[in-house]
A and B are shown apart, each in its own frame.
Chain A
Amino acid sequence: MKVKILYFASIREKLGRDAEDVELPPGVATIAGLRTHLRSRGGAWAEALAEGRLLRAALNQDMAQPAAAIKAGDEIAFFPPVTGG
């Protein structure tokens, strides 16, 4: 299935991109699964999405937990904890 992924702030800078459309292999069905899948690209991906790094995710523009299920056509975003206000 195909999903849209967005990256913001320090994650966007580390990866050198702000968005991409990705065809996911079968078995990638959650936010956590997607993060693991992207990390397997290695290099900047392994670092920016490293397991110990504190990250937030959104699913279709709502804050989402790692266990949240994803489906074709979803918009998923990864970013660091927010610092507005």
Chain B
Amino acid sequence: MKVSVQKEDFDLGAEVKAISANPKIGAVATFTGLVRDVAMTLEHYPGMTERAIAQIVEQARSRWQVMDCTVIHRYGKLRPNDQIVLVAVASAHRGDAFAACEFIMDYLKTQAPFWKKEQGVDGARWVEAKATDDKAAERWK
């Protein structure tokens, strides 16, 4: 299991390969989040952010068969089309891999301390949290 909160970009192919070595793994589901439309700065809470993500991964492991998992989230300045987040889950079968991947993303959106500040043409503004993200996390309860 790997959790990384980093400034640097990541290589999807290399990360998938790194969690696919076990011959019992039959499925790897991945989600990659990209910056849409405008440049932004991502702030986080060093220490708590890593801890919160690790706890979300543990919850996923207790609900589905997860053989390996990598979560990478970037912070700092990002431009349109940059990769922000990667969730990759390896399992024996696709059902567990898909579900755990989506669960981790939904929880990350509402529980992991990150804040986006978008750089618009008329100045910078903090992105507001969305009720739809809370709903998405709620449905796993």
Which A residues have a C-beta under 8 Å from some C-beta of B? 6, 8-10, 54, 58, 61-63, 77, 79-85
**A9's contact among B47, B84, B111, B115, by CB below 8 Å, is which?**
B115
Task: State the 10 A-B residue pairs at the shortest beta-carbon distance, nearest first.
Answer: A84-B114, A81-B129, A9-B115, A61-B48, A85-B109, A83-B127, A10-B126, A83-B116, A85-B108, A84-B112
> Mask for B38-66, Cβ within 8 A of A = 1, else 0?
00001111011001100000000000000
Which B residues have a C-beta under 8 Å from some C-beta of A? 33, 42-45, 47-48, 51-52, 73, 84-85, 105, 108-117, 126-129, 133
User: Complex Cα distance A77/B48, Å?
Assistant: 10
Contact A79 B111 (CB under 8 A): no
Q: Give the chain B neighbours of A81 by CB distance below 8 A.
A: 110, 128-129
A-B contact count (CB 8 A): 73
User: Complex Cα distance A79/B133, Å?
Assistant: 17
**A85's contact among B45, B51, B85, by CB below 8 Å, is which?**
B85
Closest B residue by C-beta to A60: B48
Contact status of A79 and B115, CB under 8 A, knowing A58-B48, A84-B44, A84-B73: yes
Contact A63 B51 (CB under 8 A): no
Minimum CB–CB distance from A54 to chain B (whole Å) comes to: 8
Contact B85 A84 (CB under 8 A): yes
Q: Give the chain A neighbours of B33 by CB distance below 8 A.
A: 85
Q: Give the chain A neighbours of B126 by CB distance below 8 A.
A: 9-10, 80, 83
Q: Knowing that A83-B115, A85-B114 touch, tell me 17 more A-B residue pairs with CB under 8 angstroms.
A: A6-B45, A8-B113, A9-B43, A9-B126, A10-B115, A54-B129, A61-B48, A79-B45, A82-B112, A83-B114, A83-B128, A83-B129, A84-B85, A84-B115, A84-B116, A85-B33, A85-B133
